[in-house]
Amino acid sequence: MNEIKWVKNTMPKTNDAQLPVMAIDEVKKARTFHESFPQYTMTPLAKLDNMAAYLGLKEVYVKDESYRFGLNAFKVLGGSFAMARYIAKETGRDVSELDYETLTSDKLREEFGQATFFTATDGNHGRGVAWAANRLKQKAVVYMPKGSTQTRLKNIQLEGATATIEEVNYDECVRMAAAAAAKTKNGVVVQDTAWAGYEEIPSWIMQGYGTMALEANEQLQEAGCDRPTHVFVQAGVGSLAGAVQGYFANRYPESTPKVVVVEADVAACLYKGAVAGDGEERIVDGDMQTIMAGLACGEPNTISWDILKNHVSVFVSAPDWAAAQGMRMLSAPIKGDPQVVSGESGAAPFGILACIMTMPEYKDLKEELGLDENSKVLLFSTEGDTDPERYKEIVWDGKDYK
């Protein structure tokens, strides 16, 4: 069985130039934009009191994104806000002037025209971009990496997008999307990874993700939790992790929660960067076959990487079996706790938390993080059963992973 690997963050700090991307005022703009959608409701924050007691923790909360806009995943928050900010910029407006009704109006369509939004995805981000483009009367073209499922492909096509599964990995699909956009009139890349020269749209996507962190923080306070002591968050390219870390570092600058970033072991580019310890990015390539398809990304987002190396406590490389364990435990909660239907990428952080608290071989990590009966832990289940057959295979049939 592959082991869970972890490394304490000892990387040199920078001047934190990217932290203002997730300033509270910027996140509030995104939240106001999302609230203007007729489909908007705040997703639930599951309070797992009995699970917390079982694991030896004070409180455990899981933000359940399977309810987001009927799309079963959080990703639409980023793509929709980035499109709105792009259209705002092109039409000389502030995004606060572009609520859902204005954006979807014939008047704005006449003024702005039509763009084609290109993206690469394993499923959730592409579906979110396709959904938002469809609502905003724009076009979307989506490239999916080798190993993507037909279910996820069809869900994107049902939103009116052009979508294909390619014979290359995610990072190559990103390059294909960028090349195709460059050759298309009014072609725009909407990708949640950033690289030198492509950082504005990814920063807007991260701000969109901030809606989820802002909601969770409000819900914690309503539940009587002044702030979490620990936040576990998953990472592919790191955009979500950077958004969540950035929000909490801005929200609690004097007492920022300890943040643990969890990656799929075959695509653990952030973990590898942290192991190297010099602050430089590391890249993972190859097929990156993992059940955590949403985390199978090998090239870090440059904006997020800067935020993460300044603020994260520990980076974790997670094997597939740990994600599967998280899925099963959340799907069959201790009596009295709410159920969370969490997909492979969604459940990975909870799986890691459960392993840390119950497996003696990870006692050193538990001590490093100070996880004990006083800890209040927040996690994000970023997707539901976005691939229902695989979900049943893991949760119902008990499919084994190494």
Token digits of residue 83: 């499109």
Q: How large is the C-alpha radius of gyration of the chain?
A: 20
Query: In the block, which residue shows the tokens 């469809």?
Result: 134
CA–CA dist 261, 294 (Å, integer) = 14
Q: Cα 392 vs. chain centroid, distance in angstroms?
A: 23
Where in 235-313 does DSSP place strands (E)? 258-264
**Of these residues, 29, 63, 64, 122, which one is catalytic?**
122
* Angle in degrees, CA 301, 148, 72, rounded to 5: 75
Phi, psi of 161 (to 5 degrees): -85, 155
The single residue of 29, 75, 258, 376 carrying the catalytic annotation is 75
Helix then strand then coil, in percent of the chain rounded to 5, is 50, 15, 35
Q: Give the integer Cα–Cα distance in Å for 131 and 159.
A: 5
Query: Does 16 qualify as catalytic in the annotation?
Result: no
Q: What is the dihedral of CA 156, 160, 164, 165, to 10 degrees?
A: 10
**For residues 81 and 401, what is the distance between their CA atoms, to the nearest angstrom?**
37
75 assigned to active site:
yes
* Contact call for residues 208 and 241 (beta carbons, < 8 A): no
Query: Which residues does 184 contact at the CB level (< 8 Å), separation at least 6?
Result: 116, 118
Backbone φ, ψ for residue 45 (5° rounding): -110, 105
Question: Is the separation of the CB atoms in 74 and 68 below 8 Å?
Answer: yes
Which residue, among 76, 67, 58, 62, has the nearest Cα to 119 in the 3D structure?
A: 76
3 state DSSP class of 307: helix
Strands of the sheet containing 314-318, edge to edge, are 5-8, 314-318, 258-264, 230-234, 376-381, 59-64, 45-47
Residues 337/50, Cβ–Cβ less than 8 Å:
yes
| Closest C-alpha to 201, from 281, 83, 121, 113 | 83
Catalytic residue positions?
75, 122
